[in-house]
């Protein structure tokens, strides 16, 4: 009797365990349509394939992890790096998987992909069917057809490139990395969208890592000064029409590495990370001395985004192994809400 009781107990436990495992692994779609969305790309750890996508409803604070997996029953891949959204679709650039996924804008359901890319970083739509994709290692701009999700052309620009921004009929591209290259990474390159040719370039600071456009259509580029702190970090203001440098503002401390330059919806205030969050007006001519949001102890500010409501969202990478956090602040710098994201929360995108 005792043996039979033990056997029965073990059988019941196996059944319960099996049922629980099935429930845990089964994709479950909690949301049928994205609304008031903030999407967070969680980069994950290099070569582990544990990147993910987090959805956060800015109105209800509903948070759903692993959205890509839940919607498509497939992992996102190795080092998801950026997200961009057009009128119909969401594009997820997965760097070390050499892949770009296209999903439905409202449901997140898979629509297509491009793979066999080298080391894709950012995607910028140029028109209804063409997008440019930046690459960490290639000297070529990859042009893709977003309707067919296929590579349509490659344009040799002679340098690697990172950020892309469109102003009028021109695309401005930052030359961020000099890894294994014989040219210094200090150029802003310009492509004409009608001829689809490289037409000009402007020398700026070393390692430009982020670029925004202000309300006057002037460009601001944040340069960290180099991986080995070769020069002081700097912030550049450029007129994109006549290609003139309007201002160059240097940081006083050469050992710092400011990143994640953002701009508010009105286009008149800049934000960036330099351990803490800093804010400055586009009319200022010097780097602010006082932080806007302080990075508290045991917090690791890693990413930054400004919402259409002019609120500040900051990604905390934690120790780069555990799930990170997102902090939501008011336009005045007061903490509103905090929620969990995935491993290394990085690039963010907003959608109504």
Provide the CATH number for the domain around residue 298: 2.130.10.10
Residue 185 lies in a domain: yes
Residue 114 lies in a domain: yes
Which residue(s) pair with 213 in the sheet?
Answer: 219
pLDDT per position as a tens digit, 27-37: 444 677 899 99
pLDDT per position as a tens digit, 142-182: 999 999 999 999 999 999 999 999 999 999 999 998 877 88
Which residue(s) pair with 201 in the sheet?
Answer: 189
Which residue(s) pair with 15 in the sheet?
Answer: none
Q: From residue 44, give the alpha-carbon distance in Å to each of 53, 90, 177, 185, 321.
A: 10, 19, 21, 27, 8
Whole-number pLDDT of residue 30: 63
Residue 30 lies in a domain: no
pLDDT above 80: residue 9: no
Residue 28 lies in a domain: no
Residue 23 lies in a domain: no
Whole-number pLDDT of residue 22: 35
Domain of residue 243, residue span: 36-351
**pTM for this predicted structure:** 0.90
Check residues 15 and 95 and name the one with the higher pLDDT.
95
Three-class DSSP category at 160: coil
Distance of CA 92 to the CA centre of its chain: 10
Q: How far is Cα 318 from Cα 301, in angstroms, rounded to an integer?
A: 8
Residue 15 lies in a domain: no
Residue 2 lies in a domain: no
Total structural domains within the chain: 1
Residue 210 lies in a domain: yes
pLDDT above 90: residue 190: yes
């Amino acid at each position: 009797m005792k043996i039979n009781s033990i056997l029965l107990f073990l059988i019941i436990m196996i059944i319960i365990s099996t049922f629980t495992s099935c429930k845990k692994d089964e994709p479950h779609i909690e949301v049928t349509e994205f609304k008031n969305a903030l999407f967070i790309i969680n980069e994950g750890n290099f070569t582990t394939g544990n990147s993910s996508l987090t959805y956060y409803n800015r109105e209800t604070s509903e948070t759903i992890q692993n959205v890509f997996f839940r919607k498509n029953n497939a992992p996102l891949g190795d080092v998801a790096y950026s997200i961009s959204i057009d009128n119909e679709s969401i594009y997820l650039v997965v760097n070390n998987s050499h892949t770009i996924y296209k999903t439905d804008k409202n449901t997140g359901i898979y629509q297509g992909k491009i793979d066999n890319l080298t080391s894709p970083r950012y995607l910028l739509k140029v028109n209804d069917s063409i997008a440019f994709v930046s690459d960490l290692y290639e000297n070529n701009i990859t042009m893709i057809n977003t309707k067919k999700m296929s590579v349509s052309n490659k344009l040799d620009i002679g340098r690697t490139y990172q950020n892309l921004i469109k102003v009028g009929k021109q695309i401005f591209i930052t030359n961020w990395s000099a890894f294994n290259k014989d040219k210094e990474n200090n150029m802003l390159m310009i492509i004409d969208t009608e001829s689809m040719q490289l037409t000009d370039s402007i020398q700026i600071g070393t390692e430009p890592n982020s670029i925004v456009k202000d309300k006057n259509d002037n460009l601001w580029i944040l340069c960290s000064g180099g991986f080995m702190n070769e020069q002081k970090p700097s912030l550049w203001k450029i007129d994109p029409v006549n290609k003139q440098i309007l201002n160059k503002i240097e940081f006083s401390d050469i050992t710092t590495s400011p990143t994640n330059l953002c701009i508010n919806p009105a286009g008149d205030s800049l934000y960036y990370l330099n351990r803490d969050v800093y804010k400055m007006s586009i009319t200022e001519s010097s780097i602010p001395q006082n932080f806007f949001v302080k990075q508290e102890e045991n917090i690791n500010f890693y990413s930054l985004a400004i919402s259409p409501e002019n609120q500040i969202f900051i990604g905390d990478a934690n120790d780069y192994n555990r799930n990170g956090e997102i902090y939501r602040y008011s336009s005045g710098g007061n903490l509103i809400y905090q929620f969990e994201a995935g491993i290394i929360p990085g690039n963010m995108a907003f959608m109504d």
